[in-house]
Amino acid sequence: MGYITKATIQEVTDKIDALAVVGDYVRIEKRSGRYLGLCPFHHEKTSSFSVNPDLKLYYCFGCGKGGTIINFIMEMDKLSFPETVELLAKRFGVPVVYEHGGQLDTGMTKRIEEHAELYSRVAGSFHYVLMEKPEGRAAKAYIISRGLCNEMIDRFRLGYAPADRRWLFTFLSGKGYSPEFLASSGLFSPKYPRSSFFADRLMFPIADRQGRTVAFGGRILGGEGPKYINSPESEGYKKGQTLFAIDLAQPEIRKTREVYIAEGYMDVIALHQAGITNAVAPLGTAFTDEQAKLLRRWADQVFLIFDADIAGQNAVVKAILTCRNNGLAAGVVVPGGDPAGGKGAPGQTRFKDPADILKEAGAEVLQKRVKYTINDFEYLMDRGRALFDVSSSEGKARGVAFLFPYLQTLDSEVSRDACIGSIAAAFGVDRGAVADDYRKTALGNKSLEAVRPSPAIRMNDELFLFAVVSIHQRLYPEVRSRLAIKEIEDPCAKDIFIALEECYAHDESGMDALLSRISAPHVRNFVIERGASNEFAVNPEQLVADGIKRVEQKRLERRLDEIVMKLRIVKAEAGIGGETPLEDLLDEKMHIDAELRRLRLKEDFD
């Protein structure tokens, strides 16, 4: 049969009785306003498993497992998503409707081909606008400023989506495409079917491994919104199963049995320009098992080239384990310098990523940089020593345990034994103690995930606000009317903001839709945990209003600190006769002071 329609899935989700469904597997009791039971996913004597019937979420505060009720059934009964939806639909009396009246896969294949043909034409049109039309000049100037050559612009079919959101609909309608077909393409807003999803963005066509254009990525060039957005998923495009530039990189991957995985579109294009044509990138998500299995068909060795910031380093750790769990050897390239962290050639400049190297130093330097690699085990040992205070016994224990998930991926006992010896030497501990701790972890009931560090999420004003809004999504329009994403500093809060905006743009609601658009697992788990805790159930409107006010106040305070610092510099410069923007800074300071007084006065009054 074809795919189950979104309308059917939404109706099933709306009608699910969460307590009744989970109650078939777990004895649930209401205590202090919460529904609790013993977790079915790990052994426990005290109830830490919670169900929120309003949000239709489950979460275990003991083992951290959680998700939607559909996820719960899939996990418990080992069913696929369609099987689970059909099961629940039957239980709650929802007729299951399939796309195109339940046509066989031949219908789905035809639709995929039709959409690929449309996307290919749109990619060509965006490319023409970029290269030949006046409205594309700024985007083209930006690309050239990043060091990309015309050959790469053509090879990757880079383009520009005009700022006029109605331009694309008018253009395609003139080519004979029906409004119904365009509405199904994912190129237009579900709310406003003549309004393009992409506007005033640098466009990156995304192809599958057969070379069919199946989606777009768009980088903002002006106005408000997320820096990058991707096309919504469709029958022909699953971002967790697709890699950017896989169609162009595949011949070299087959030839060398090696693949370079970078973090973003510009990084991949920079690598190709430097002659590293076996480079690809995930699409707005962490590197997935499905992507690793795809690459395993042609490659034996992966080289990871992620950003040099904290988020990039955390992504490298996860990607290493994904590679190893899927039979791929892994190495790490650190674009900011030599892999050993300062032992390279004197005078080397540290860079953030491959695109930065291409822009600042050129293709030849980039080509040389990727030759300096560190193997995955050495990288993880260095990372473990950096993450934990290894001068203390507790820090050593945590640092050693950080390596256990990697040891678990090794098939060879000889390799594992050698690694245990290296760990003991690196952390200055007894080899037998490392082996004993590893055995207890590997053979016990404790999950290896428990010792794998995940980015710590600490509640702050921004996260508090978006935690409330993720649970009470009807309040999101008020937030987006008051705050811009550029005003949000916390990366986890930004992830939730982007997911909420994408749901809003696609006219989607509910936790299933929101969680599917949050790419970072730790952020997704954070939202699930907050929802299961039921802590934002009382007066959410006031919580959101207070949250917006606090975020605005913190933003103003940060800007005030910047102005005070600039005023000090200006006064110092004035002493040596320099011209200064003193009046402008003082005016802005007076305005911010007044705004802060207004917010604080309102807070006291409230």
Decide if pLDDT at 115 tops 80. yes
Average pLDDT in the 383-409 region?
92
H or E, element range at 441: helix 431-443
Average pLDDT in the 395-407 region?
93
Which value, to the nearest 10 degrees, does the dihedral of the CA atoms of residues 142, 148, 149, 151 take? -110
pTM beyond cutoff 0.85: no
**Tokens, residue 65:** 């497992």
* Residues written for the chain: 606
Average pLDDT in the 2-12 region?
83
Residue 545 burial (10 A CB sphere; 0-12, 13-18, 19+): middle
Reported as a pLDDT band with limits 50, 70 and 90, residue 76 is: confident
Cα 407 to the chain's mean position, in Å?
A: 27
Q: Can you say whether residue 337 is alpha, beta or left, with left for phi > 0 and alpha for psi between -120 and 50 degrees?
A: left
Cα 499 to the chain's mean position, in Å?
A: 10
264/353 Cα distance (integer angstroms): 9
Average pLDDT in the 30-47 region?
84
Decide if pLDDT at 83 tops 50. yes
Cα 300 to the chain's mean position, in Å?
A: 26
Give the closest residue to 127 by CA, choosing from 111, 143, 147: 143
Average pLDDT in the 124-134 region?
96
Give the closest residue to 221 by CA, choosing from 137, 320, 102: 137
188/198 Cα distance (integer angstroms): 8
Decide if pLDDT at 389 tops 50. yes
Helical H runs in 156-208? 167-174, 179-183
Q: How far is CA 27 from CA 19, 21, 71, 280, 311, in A?
A: 10, 11, 18, 47, 40
Residues 6+ apart with CB under 8 A from 92: 12, 15, 16, 17
The pLDDT tens digits for 146-200 are: 999 999 999 999 999 999 999 999 999 999 999 999 999 999 998 899 999 999 9
Give the single-character DSSP code of 228: E
Asked if residue 105 lies in contact with residue 2, where contact means CB atoms within 8 angstroms, the answer is yes
Asked if residue 247 lies in contact with residue 208, where contact means CB atoms within 8 angstroms, the answer is yes
Reported as a pLDDT band with limits 50, 70 and 90, residue 108 is: low
Q: Which segment of 284-298, 540-554, 591-605 scores lowest on mean pLDDT?
A: 591-605
**Tokens, residue 288:** 């997935």
Long-range CB contact pairs, 139-148, < 8 A, 24+:
139/202, 139/221, 142/202, 142/221, 143/202, 145/359, 146/266, 146/355, 146/358, 146/359, 147/270, 147/273, 147/355, 147/358, 147/359, 147/362, 147/363, 148/269, 148/270, 148/273, 148/358
**Tokens, residue 97:** 């409707």
Count of alpha carbons within 13 angstroms of residue 550, beta-carbon side: 13
241/42 Cα distance (integer angstroms): 30
Reported as a pLDDT band with limits 50, 70 and 90, residue 345 is: very low
pLDDT of residue 412: 84
What is the residue whose two structure tokens read 């087959």?
254
Residue 141 burial (10 A CB sphere; 0-12, 13-18, 19+): exposed
Asked if residue 329 lies in contact with residue 323, where contact means CB atoms within 8 angstroms, the answer is yes
Give 525's strand partners: none
Radius of gyration of the chain (CA): 26
Give the single-character DSSP code of 423: H
pLDDT of residue 581: 65
191/268 Cα distance (integer angstroms): 34
Reported as a pLDDT band with limits 50, 70 and 90, residue 41 is: confident
Residue of higher predicted confidence among 16 and 224: 16
Reported as a pLDDT band with limits 50, 70 and 90, residue 446 is: very low
Q: Which segment of 24-28, 275-279, 436-440 scores lowest on mean pLDDT?
A: 24-28
Decide if pLDDT at 605 tops 80. no
Average pLDDT in the 101-127 region?
77
Give the closest residue to 63 by CA, choosing from 529, 536, 530: 529
420/219 Cα distance (integer angstroms): 45
Decide if pLDDT at 575 tops 60. no
Decide if pLDDT at 102 tops 60. no
Give me the chain's average pLDDT, please.
84
Asked if residue 88 lies in contact with residue 79, where contact means CB atoms within 8 angstroms, the answer is no
SS3 210: coil
Asked if residue 463 lies in contact with residue 543, where contact means CB atoms within 8 angstroms, the answer is no
Dmax (CA) of the chain: 81
CB atoms near residue 297 (< 10 Å): 10
Reported as a pLDDT band with limits 50, 70 and 90, residue 578 is: very low
512/470 Cα distance (integer angstroms): 11
Decide if pLDDT at 448 tops 50. no
Q: How far is CA 482 from CA 11, 386, 476, in A?
A: 32, 39, 10
**Tokens, residue 41:** 């996913």
Highest mean pLDDT among 76-85, 142-151, 525-534: 142-151
Residues 6+ apart with CB under 8 A from 337: 344, 348, 350, 351
H or E, element range at 34: strand 34-37
Could you tell me where the beta strands, DSSP code E, fall in 541-595? none
65/39 Cα distance (integer angstroms): 9
The pLDDT tens digits for 457-498 are: 778 888 899 989 999 999 999 988 888 888 888 888 889 999
Count of alpha carbons within 13 angstroms of residue 475, beta-carbon side: 19
The pLDDT tens digits for 280-326 are: 999 977 899 889 988 887 888 999 999 878 888 889 999 999 999 88
Residues 6+ apart with CB under 8 A from 42: 60, 62, 63, 65, 445, 447
Asked if residue 206 lies in contact with residue 217, where contact means CB atoms within 8 angstroms, the answer is yes
The pLDDT tens digits for 421-441 are: 999 999 999 999 999 999 888
What is the residue whose two structure tokens read 């705050």?
483
Reported as a pLDDT band with limits 50, 70 and 90, residue 418 is: very high
Decide if pLDDT at 138 tops 90. yes
Give the closest residue to 261 by CA, choosing from 348, 208, 328: 328
pLDDT of residue 297: 74
Decide if pLDDT at 417 tops 70. yes
Question: What is the share, in percent, of the chain residues with pLDDT greater than 70?
Answer: 85
Cα 521 to the chain's mean position, in Å?
A: 9
**Tokens, residue 314:** 């955390």
Asked if residue 527 lies in contact with residue 458, where contact means CB atoms within 8 angstroms, the answer is no
